[in-house]
């Protein structure tokens, strides 16, 4: 690659264990970039006893909401041309252990094969806990980690029940949860990015900029990913079922909202 090409196409791979701050770093890096930008999250290795949190679209959806012009690296490599731009691609990889080798050789065959299929060659590789330019306060080492994922597409939460459920979840009611993140829908059309890590003082509840019309069930991404020890998925699932609004209750609440704001347009 020539010097001119490297200036046009910067491809940064950032990796680290769950909850260390990879997505937040990606957000800040992409927001500070003035050219075109794209993002993709790849599944890293799963050493014995350490389960990967499923790539459920939470990170991509959150970043896309915060940076509307953000492209998916998957779509970008399938024909979108930005050769005239100062282009940045951020690749996020959940990597439990510090890479033992330099460059891309420090990552497993699955990551390398995926990058090759996308024709992405990292020009910069950073790992939380190794590279000093990355914050390290939330970089934890895990000896054992279970993972559980649940799709909530089309589901709408009772707001008070969501607060109670999240408090129970991160405080040990369903096992020792070390990491939890989700996108949750509320009846008024808002969606929240819920984020918690055992090393932090409290949870983040960040509203998405985009909202849905309060009529029926939204089709946008809504997922829950939990990582920890001795997790109780049936207990989590049972409580979730109790917290979600039925069709009848949802329609009643949304009808009230529509009557209160008859002239206020909401984004689709």
pLDDT tens-digit profile of 17-69? 999 999 999 999 999 999 999 999 999 888 889 999 988 899 999 999 999 99
- DSSP string over 232-253: -HHHHHHHHHHHBPPHHHHHHH
Cα–Cα distances (Å) from 200 to 29, 125, 197, 263, in that order, read 22, 26, 6, 41
**What is residue 86's predicted lDDT score, i.e. its pLDDT?**
87
| Total-model pTM | 0.88
**What is residue 89's predicted lDDT score, i.e. its pLDDT?**
97
Domains and CATH numbers, the chain: 3-127 (no CATH), 146-260 (3.30.1220.10)
Name the residue among 133, 236, 128, 137 with its Cα closest to residue 180: 236
pLDDT in tens, the chain (268 residues): 444 444 568 999 999 999 999 999 999 999 999 999 999 999 988 888 999 998 889 999 999 999 999 998 875 444 455 455 689 999 999 999 999 999 999 999 999 999 999 999 999 999 999 999 999 989 999 999 999 999 999 999 999 999 999 999 999 999 999 999 999 999 999 999 999 999 988 999 999 999 998 999 999 999 999 999 999 999 999 999 999 999 999 999 999 988 886 554 444 3
**What is residue 83's predicted lDDT score, i.e. its pLDDT?**
53
**What is residue 32's predicted lDDT score, i.e. its pLDDT?**
96
Cα–Cα distances (Å) from 259 to 193, 221, 248, 255, in that order, read 27, 27, 17, 6
**What is residue 6's predicted lDDT score, i.e. its pLDDT?**
46
- Provide the phi-psi class of 233: left if phi over 0, else alpha when psi is between -120 and 50, else beta: alpha
- Percentage helix, strand, coil, to 5, in the chain? 30, 25, 45
């Amino acid at each position: 690659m020539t010097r001119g090409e490297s200036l046009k196409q910067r491809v940064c791979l950032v990796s680290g264990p769950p909850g260390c701050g990879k997505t937040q770093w990606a957000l800040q890096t992409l927001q500070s970039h003035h050219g075109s930008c794209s993002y993709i999250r790849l599944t890293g290795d799963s050493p014995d006893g350490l389960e990967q949190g499923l790539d459920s679209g939470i990170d991509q959806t959150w970043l896309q909401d915060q940076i509307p012009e953000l492209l998916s690296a998957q779509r970008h490599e399938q024909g979108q041309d930005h050769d005239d731009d100062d282009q940045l691609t951020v690749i996020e990889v959940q990597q439990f252990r510090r890479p033992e080798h330099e460059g891309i050789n420090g990552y497993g065959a699955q990551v390398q094969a995926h990058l090759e299929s996308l024709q992405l060659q990292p020009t910069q590789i950073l790992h939380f806990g190794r590279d000093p330019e990355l914050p390290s306060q939330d970089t934890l080492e895990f000896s054992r980690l279970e993972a559980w994922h649940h799709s909530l597409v089309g589901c709408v939460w009772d707001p008070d029940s969501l607060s109670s459920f999240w408090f129970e979840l991160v405080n040990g009611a369903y096992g020792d949860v070390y990491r939890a993140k989700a996108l949750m829908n509320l009846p008024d059309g808002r969606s929240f990015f819920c984020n918690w890590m055992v090393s932090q003082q409290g949870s983040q509840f960040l509203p998405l900029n985009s909202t849905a019309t309060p009529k029926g069930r939204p089709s946008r991404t809504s997922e829950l990913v939990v990582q920890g020890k001795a997790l109780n998925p049936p207990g989590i699932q049972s409580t979730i079922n109790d917290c979600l609004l039925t069709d009848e209750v949802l329609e009643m609440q949304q009808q009230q909202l529509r009557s209160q704001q008859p002239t206020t347009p909401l984004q689709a």
